[in-house]
Amino acid sequence: MYKVKGIMYMIHLVALVIADFFVSKDVITEEEKEVCAYGMELIISGIINVSLVIIIGLITCNIWYAIVYNIMMIVIRMYTGGYHADTHLGCNICYCGVFLISLIILRIQMLVKEDVLTWIIAAAGYLIIVLNAPLEHHNKRLTIEQKHKYMIISAMLGISSMLISFMLNIMGMVIRYGEYTILCHISLYINTMLLIIGLLLLLGIRKEGRFHETDS
């Protein structure tokens, strides 16, 4: 417990040092220091998330999936929104835990080897995203214009992911004359991630709904 609090305190301390540096260089004002420090905490926590997943990917020989995971989780969720843990440590654990779950789902698809299943998974994830994105966080409200913009970008990112997945699958099968290759596996993984991002969006909606009920 003390080690956990120590890690969170260190993140907070580093963020404050950076914010103080910005104040000393007149980049921000003293009044903006607290907001800046909080933003730096989020950035540091995000860097830790990405680094941990890369390390797990290297250890488990799943580095390509780790790269795809980080890209999709950062880029797509930037516009869709979704579930967020209440603490930095909780965020780190969830981020790494979801990565491990995604690998398990991928292995199941590899065993089943059913093309129809993977595209059903991708379509389900895409529909969830299109019908529910973007999700507002209670600490970050969106204007009507922002909601419309994020909705369009979310839909475009979903379609783009499916197109990339389709092209990788075709390329992989052509290169190896129909046998599954790493390209086909990455295609499966992209489809898996669409579903996972969709499910995280639904979890976020449920959490935000409970927050608003408590707030009201």
Give residues with Cβ within 8 angstroms of 175, minimum separation 6. 181, 183
pLDDT above 80: residue 68:
yes
Q: What is the pTM of this model?
A: 0.85
pLDDT above 90: residue 155:
yes
pLDDT above 70: residue 6:
no
Confidence class for position 3, pLDDT limits 50, 70, 90: very low
User: Is residue 186 classed as helix, strand or coil in its secondary structure?
Assistant: helix
pLDDT in tens, 132-154: 999 887 667 788 999 999 999 99
When pLDDT is averaged across residues 180-199 and rounded to a whole number, the result is: 91
Q: How far is CA 182 from CA 172, 179, 191, 195, in A?
A: 7, 10, 14, 20
pLDDT score of 4: 45
When pLDDT is averaged across residues 84-89 and rounded to a whole number, the result is: 80
pLDDT in tens, 39-56: 788 888 889 999 999 999
C-alpha torsion angle, residues 7, 8, 13, 14 (rounded to 10) = 70
Q: Which of 64-68, 73-77, 82-86, 198-202 has the lowest mean pLDDT?
A: 82-86
> Are the CB atoms for 155 and 130 separated by under 8 Å?
yes
